[in-house]
Amino acid sequence: MKSPFYQHYLKESFIQLVNKHSVKAKLIEGFDNRDDGLLTLFLIFDAPGNEFGVESNEVIRHYWELINFVDEQSTGFELMSMDPETGEVIPADDRYFVFDWRGELDTQTILTVDDKTFLEYIDLLIRENPNSSRFNIDVLKRTRVLNQFIDHKEMDIRSKGNNIFVRVFKSDLQISILDFVENATDSIGQNFRTGKPFDDVEYIVGLKAYSIWLEGYLKNKDKDYLEMSNVTARNAAIITIRALKSFPILFHFVENYNENFNYENEVKLATTNSRELFDKYREEWEFSISRSTILICRGLAYNYSGFENNLSGIINKVYPSYIEKAINEWIRNYN
């Protein structure tokens, strides 16, 4: 069972952890059969399991995968953290790198390190061997979470007196999520709906549905899923509309910025069969959130599946994590 608290390491305690247990960083390509060209970062060391929420009193090999970056200063999720030295439980109100347990024992727990401290740790690694082919600046630019989850800024890593900047939102292929959104929205435009171009609210909900559709494909990479993208993308869009309340930030955004939004009515439209839609609800359906979500999700899915080539060279390089980040940024910066 996942721990109710993140194990949060403040600056002093994390550096002590590094020194005490000789914490090593390891970069792995293709972990979990990912083929996006990015690297997964692990912290590896030997230590008693119960010091880190792992159910073992013995010294065991620890594998912690860097899975996320959380900015508690702006998300408002109200997560709690525990200082391992004092046992004090405090609100998580900083920016954290999040690590998930990946050891052999059947335990789920999470470890977090504030961003400044973790970047100082990376700086130590670089200074130890700046010419290392395993862990240097060029390799760092290909690291998954550092490129995908950090807010709009540049990480300033100082090494040997030089300032080294690592741009975020750029993979090794230099494709940014913002480039993708721009190209995606331009390519869909009003081609799928005459009379009224899609607005930002519709694009955001449509991108959310596409993210869900893409996750569904990447789990098993079933060719039939792609070949039936007309059906699978529609289903993903319907799932998104029905589950909209389970995404509270997105739900409230739609409520605030779409004056005609009625959740119950949208669910009705999304789940009504096509014949009845045209017979009874044609006018409501024409410019509904449900219809725009289906059209946008399906348009992106067609591009990914190869049925259309408006986004050729971009669509296959953008992953659900990129899309979710884009949605969050779009909502947060919306005026």
pLDDT tens for each residue of 193-240? 777 788 889 989 999 999 999 999 988 888 899 999 999 999 999 999
Which range, of 24-28, 271-275, 283-287, averages the lowest pLDDT?
271-275
Greater confidence (81 vs 64) lies with 64
Domain that holds residue 223: 177-332
pLDDT for the residue 2: 39
Between CA 268 and CA 23 the distance in angstroms is 54
C-alpha neighbours within 13 Å on the C-beta side of residue 130: 9
Ramachandran angles phi, psi of 56, nearest 5°: -160, 135
Please give the share of the chain, as a percent, with pLDDT higher than 70. 67
Same domain, 232 and 257: yes
Same domain, 106 and 237: no
Same domain, 157 and 28: yes
Between CA 323 and CA 286 the distance in angstroms is 26
Percentages of the chain per state (helix, strand, coil), in multiples of 5? 50, 20, 30
Contact 120, 47 (CB under 8 A): no
Domain-terminating residue out of 109, 142, 167: 167
Contact 140, 125 (CB under 8 A): no
Same domain, 12 and 161: yes
Same domain, 39 and 153: yes
In a domain, 1, yes or no: no
Same domain, 158 and 12: yes
Number of domains in the chain: 2
Same domain, 146 and 188: no
**Residues in CB range of 49: below 8 A, 6 or more apart:** 55, 56, 57, 58, 59, 60, 62, 103, 105, 107
Greater confidence (154 vs 233) lies with 233
Please give the share of the chain, as a percent, with pLDDT higher than 90. 18
Which range, of 1-5, 34-38, 311-315, averages the lowest pLDDT?
1-5
pLDDT for the residue 228: 93
Greater confidence (316 vs 156) lies with 316
pLDDT reading at 277 higher than 80 = no
pLDDT reading at 326 higher than 80 = no
In a domain, 79, yes or no: yes
pLDDT (tens digit per residue) in 174-192: 345 555 666 666 666 545 6
Same domain, 66 and 150: yes
pLDDT for the residue 67: 85
